[in-house]
Chain A
Amino acid sequence: MKGRFQLGLMIALLIVAGLGLTLYKHFALGFPLLGKDVSTVWSIEAWVSFKAEGEAAQASLTLPDQQSDVWIMDESFASPGYGINQINDGGQRRAVWSIRKADGRQDLFYKVKLRLESGLSPNVNDQPEAFIAPVLPEPYQTAAQSLLKQVTESSANATSFASTLLGLFSASKPDQNVNMLLGMTDEGVKIPELLINLLRMGNIPARIVRGLHLEDGRRRQPIVDMIEIYDGDQWHLFDPRTGQSGNPKAFFLWQRGAKSLLDVMGGVNSDVKFSIISQQIPTRDLALAQATQEQAALIDFSIYALPLEAQNAFKIILLIPIGVLVVLFMRIIVGLRTSGTFMPVLISMAFLQTQLLPGLVIFISLVSIGLWIRSFLSQQNMLLVARLGAVIIVVILLMAVMSVLSWKLGITQALTVTFFPMIILAWTIERMSILWEEEGPRDVLKEGGGSLLVATLSYLLMSNPVVEQLTFNFPELMLTLLGLVLLLGQYTGYRLLELKRFYPLVRAARQPR
């Protein structure tokens, strides 16, 4: 019994290993299990332009950081002749381009590639800075204080305070306090700045954030100002124009804090514009790139390391174990007779190339013709192998004729009988011929029919898109299949067809003699 225990252990290990690796790849590395096959990748290009004055020039641009629900994939700079540095300016990343001498129009580019993925949270320590409540010049200070008192009374906490305050400012008919404060804009104070001051006066940490709405095909987008307030626990985003809170869909934060987006020294007329494009990329490729970046060993040593052509060939090869499982199931559990174990799998692979219905028609017709030729030739005195060879050659000639004829007639299905299906056809004809000689036509029908039925079932399973995706993305599942096959090999129960075969015996056994 020790052998049995070892076998059972091996089976269990195989099945668990296959499933385990699959789940690891899905949950830890992000390979798609089913469904969502493509993901959107956003490319944002920041175009910095200014006019240099013939001297040394330096431009610095804030760079985006990690944020919730966003995976930053890649970033790059394009700026010939410039030296590029990245600095950390009080917690904010900045890129600094510098050049010894520049004259005329200068164009600098920064590109970032990112992907939206809910559930990602950055490990960023984002505590608010200490601040002193600002004091506005009169008469604004009085207006502000009375406004704030009003808002405090009609709100419960920081978020509702901010919500109420912003709501008042975005109302179509602002009240007199708001109108007074809005007058500050005439003196060059921007609204978001004003709101920040008011919030700080209300003892709520607040800051300006700048970002972009992600929409495909946008060019020369300006950056958008938003307000973030801290409620003691986390930051909340508010749109100062509408008073809406919460992260708008597809909004990418570029900068936190009110530091200047772009600083240029030694140049004038500086500006930065953003262009946004989106691309659909297969999710698997993304997961692959990510995993390769992180150097996940599982990926490095897997078939993904192969060139694309080889991977395409593997796509079909990896389906074979599914076919084998179907054949084994039909033979061991159902009890169908097939001509060989591997034959039906090969036939179903041929069907993958020709599609099911044309494949079946071609198969049955060509095999029948081959058998008819064989019986004609058997009346001549010939060595067996020569007879088989002659049959195969005639059938191949027939297939060539059929291909040409169907092409002329405009039926393209017959053209799909290429190299591989032809080999399978020739082999099938040989086996069926031998079977006919040995057992007779009845057995040919039984075995041939059984093989075709199993091949069809195999094909239906192998061509299922879910199965295709699972086998290619998770080749580890082959381990599980192997375990299942080993398990099937231990089955000693009755076959389904035996239930029919032995019925007369059981019925007779129940009758008294």
Chain B
Amino acid sequence: MAWLSTLVSKALEKVAVTTPAQLRATGILSMNCRNLNYISRYNPRRLLPLVDDKLTTKRMAEKAGVEVPKLIAVIEYQSDIRNLKSVLDPLQQFVIKPAKGSGGKGILVITGRDGDRFIKASGDSLSFEAISRDVSNILGGLYSLGGKTDVAVIESLIQADPIFNDYSFEGVPDIRVIVFRGFPVMAMMRLATRASDGKANLHQGAVGVGLDIATGHSLRSVQRGQPVQQHPDTGHDFSALKVPHWHKILSLSAACYEMTDLGYLGVDLVLDKNLGPLILELNARPGLAIQIANGQGIEPRLKTVEALSRHDLPIAERVAFSQQHFGVLANAAPQDSGGHKNTTTFRSS
């Protein structure tokens, strides 16, 4: 019967399909499992609107002392658009985003002025009418989930840390950390490409780079699910990528647990040139692509955290635990049952 199974596995390889057994062995979390066992269980439904709304998140963060980009103004009603001109006139750069949008949808980034016109990050210039039309669309609920009416948030532009200039095509690269019950368990960096229209959105063609939780060093990189070695537009190799201020990033992410009480959380951060790590937004339903970017399944790490007897540890201890147990590269610490030491331990049939 062994010949039959090799025949089947060879056939599956030809069509690039794997089997549930292999997925389970790699520890990959499935969508159904994530939804039922983690999101339903650890994210109280009534708290989700707090996180889906960027404005509420911002206000929560400011109250909790968690650093976020500065809020300039909020446009709530169509009638407020009359005041928009006076708000925008003194500004050289700003970001307008829908409060209830998800992903990178509807975000307008203005990096400069040309007289009366506004220059986008891509170099295109917009008139004021175009901007007020966009704001009007935001208020009409174009970008919010389910078309609900929305508010437009105007915040200060983030000056991206130039350390990532070699790895990104326009836009600001962001760092996504999955925080489970307050423990950072997995992280990746998202770098914009021309294909993704300058947006750090994996779905639209940005590059995802898995980051080692212990050190912030890059692990591997993927674009649209396929591995890549270099940035498709700048040509730089990803293996030298390392994220600075890593400890601060982990601590900030872990602090979001206290802030929101959500057990399964995705924290998006950016590195500002002057201000350091800032929380951009929070996501109560973080996707599974982070596993592809890391080259590892997330489920063993989640199970390790679940198996702990105590979860109400202070932030510093939680971060230390994660760095000790979930690091992948050059990690001298002994591994628990859940931690992955090295991917070569996976048995090949």
Q: Mark A406-446, 1 if CB is under 8 A from B, else 0.
A: 00000000000000000000000000001001111000000
Contacts of B19 in A (CB 8 A): 499
Does any Cβ of A come within 8 Å of B342's Cβ? yes
A508 within 8 A of B: yes
Indicate if the CB atoms of B17 and A499 lie closer than 8 Å. yes
With contact pairs A502-B18, A512-B344 given, residues A438 and B142 touching in the complex (Cβ less than 8 Å): yes
- Asked if A509 is at the interface of the complex by the 8 Å CB criterion, the answer is yes
Tell which of B28, B133, B143, B296 has the most Cβ of chain A within 10 Å.
Answer: B28
- In the bound complex, how far is the Cα of B142 from the Cα of A503, in angstroms? 35
CB of B220 within 8 Å of the partner chain: yes
For A387, the closest partner residue in chain B by CB is: B140
Q: In the complex, what's the smallest C-beta–C-beta distance from B292 to chain A, in angstroms?
A: 5
Asked whether any CB of chain B lies closer than 8 Å to the CB of A504, the reply is yes
Are B18 and A385 closer than 8 Å at their CB atoms? no
Contact indicator B23/A494 (Cβ below 8 Å): yes
Whether B26 and A492, one on each chain, are in contact in the complex, defined by CB atoms closer than 8 angstroms, is: no
* Residue with the greatest number of chain B CB neighbours at <10 A, chosen from A381, A494, A505, A507: A505
B16 at the binding interface (Cβ < 8 Å): yes
Whether A492 lies near B33 (C-beta < 8 A) is yes
| Cβ-defined contact, A332 with B227, below 8 A | no
Q: Do A504 and B225 touch (CB < 8 A)?
A: yes
Q: Give a binary string over A471-506; 1 marks a CB under 8 Å from any B CB, 0 the rest.
A: 000000000000000000111111100111111111
- B309 close to A (CB within 8 Å): no
Q: How far is the CA of A355 from the CA of B139 in the complex (A)?
A: 41
Q: Is B23 a contact partner of A504 (Cβ separation < 8 A)?
A: no
Question: Complex formed: what's the CA distance from A380 to B80 in Å?
Answer: 21
When distances are taken between beta carbons in the complex, the residues of chain A under 8 Å from B348 are: 510
Within 8 Å of chain A (Cβ to Cβ): is B263? no
B182 to chain A, nearest CB (A): 23
Given A384-B141, A512-B344, A513-B343: A505 in contact with B30 (beta carbons within 8 A): no
With a cutoff of 8 Å between Cβ atoms, the chain B residues found around residue A511 in the complex are 343
Q: Using Cβ atoms and an 8 Å threshold, which residues of chain B touch A501?
A: 225, 292
The binding surface of chain A is classed by DSSP as helix
Residues of B within 8 A of A499 (CB): 17-20, 23
Bound Cα distance A286, B5 (Å): 55
Flag whether B2 is at the interface (Cβ < 8 A).
no
B16 CB contact (under 8 Å) in A383, A494, A500, A510: A500
Query: Please, how many angstroms separate the alpha-carbon atoms of A209 and B118 in the complex?
Result: 107
Q: Are B17 and A500 in contact (CB under 8 A)?
A: yes
CB of A505 within 8 A of CB of B292, answer: yes
B222 interface contact, C-beta 8 A: yes
Contact with A along B34-78 (1 / 0, CB 8 A): 001100000000000000000000000000000000000000001
Knowing A332-B32, A503-B18, A504-B225, say if A498 contacts B140 (CB, 8 Å).
no
Q: CA A494 – CA B23 in complex, angstroms?
A: 8
Q: Which residues of B contact A490 (CB under 8 A)?
A: 36
Question: Is residue A335 contacting chain B, with contact meaning CB distance below 8 A?
Answer: yes
Give the size category of B's interface with A. 35 or more
Q: Do the beta carbons of B18 and A495 come within 8 Å of each other?
A: no
Q: Is there an interface contact between A335 and B16, defined as CB atoms closer than 8 Å?
A: no
CB of B346 within 8 A of CB of A509, answer yes
A contact residues around B137 at 8 Å (CB):
384
- Give B138 Cβ to nearest chain A Cβ, in Å: 9
Asked if A335 contacts B31 (CB within 8 A), the reply is: yes
B220 to chain A, nearest CB (A): 7
Judge whether B28 and A505 touch: CB under 8 Å.
yes
Q: Does any Cβ of A come within 8 Å of B273's Cβ?
A: no
Nearest CB of B to A311, in Å: 37
Residue of A nearest to B38 (CB): A492
| B226 cross-chain contacts in A, Cβ below 8 A | 504
Contact A492 B30 (CB under 8 A): yes
Within 8 A of A (CB), among B67-105: 78, 105
B218 within 8 A of A: no
A504 neighbours in B (Cβ, 8 Å): 16, 222, 225-227, 292
- B291 at the A/B interface (Cβ < 8 Å)? yes
Taken together as a complex, chains A and B put the C-alpha atoms of A513 and B37 apart, in Å, by: 31
Q: Choose among B18, B37, B105, B297 the residue that contacts A492 (Cβ–Cβ < 8 A).
A: B37
Known: A504-B227, A510-B346. A434 touches B142 (CB 8 A): yes
- Specify which chain B residues have a CB less than 8 angstroms from the CB of A440 in the assembled complex: 204
With the chains together, A255 CA to B30 CA distance in Å?
Answer: 74
Report how far A490 CA is from B36 CA in the complex, Å.
Answer: 7
User: Does B322 sit within 8 A of A, measured CB to CB?
Assistant: no
Minimum CB distance partner of B220 in chain A? A508
Kindly supply a per-residue 1/0 record for chain B positions 109-136, scoring 1 wherever the CB is within 8 Å of any chain A CB and 0 otherwise: 0000000000000000000010001001
Nearest CB of chain A from residue B9's CB, rounded to whole Å: 11
Smallest Cβ distance from A275 to chain B, in angstroms? Answer: 67
How far, in angstroms, from A495 to B30 measured CA to CA in the complex? 7
A502's closest neighbor in chain B, by CB?
Answer: B28
Instruction: Write the nearest CB–CB distance from A25 to chain B, whole angstroms.
Output: 35
> When A434-B147, A492-B37, A509-B346 are in contact, do A383 and B136 touch as well, CB less than 8 Å?
yes
User: How far apart sit A491 and B36, CA to CA, in the bound complex (Å)?
Assistant: 8
Whether B18 pairs with A506 at a CB distance below 8 angstroms is: yes
B198 to nearest A CB, angstroms?
14
Q: In B1-25, which residues have CB < 8 Å from any A CB?
A: 16-20, 22-24
Known: A438-B143, A492-B36, A500-B16. A506 touches B225 (CB 8 A): no
**Closest B residue to A438 using CB positions:** B105
* Contact present for B142 and A498 (CB under 8 Å): no
User: Interface centre among B32, B137, B142, B143, by most A CB within 10 Å?
Assistant: B32
CA distance A511 to B22 in the complex (A): 14
Shortest CB-to-CB span from B323 to chain A, Å, is: 20
Q: Report the 5 A-B pairs with minimum CB-CB distance, sorted nearest first.
A: A384-B140, A492-B33, A494-B30, A512-B344, A506-B18
A-B contact pairs, 25 of them (CB 8 A): A383-B136, A438-B143, A492-B32, A493-B32, A493-B33, A494-B20, A494-B24, A494-B28, A494-B32, A495-B30, A495-B31, A495-B32, A499-B18, A499-B23, A502-B18, A504-B227, A505-B26, A505-B296, A506-B22, A508-B295, A509-B26, A509-B295, A510-B348, A512-B344, A513-B343
Q: Which residues of B contact A (CB under 8 A)?
A: 16-20, 22-24, 26, 28, 30-33, 36-37, 78, 105, 129, 133, 136-137, 140-143, 147, 203-204, 220, 222, 225-227, 291-292, 295-297, 342-344, 346, 348
List chain A positions with a Cβ less than 8 A from chain B: 332, 335, 381, 383-385, 434, 437-440, 489-495, 498-513
Known A492-B32, A506-B22; further 16 A-B contacts with Cβ < 8 A: A384-B147, A439-B105, A490-B36, A494-B32, A498-B23, A499-B19, A501-B292, A502-B28, A503-B16, A503-B18, A504-B16, A504-B222, A508-B227, A509-B296, A511-B343, A512-B343
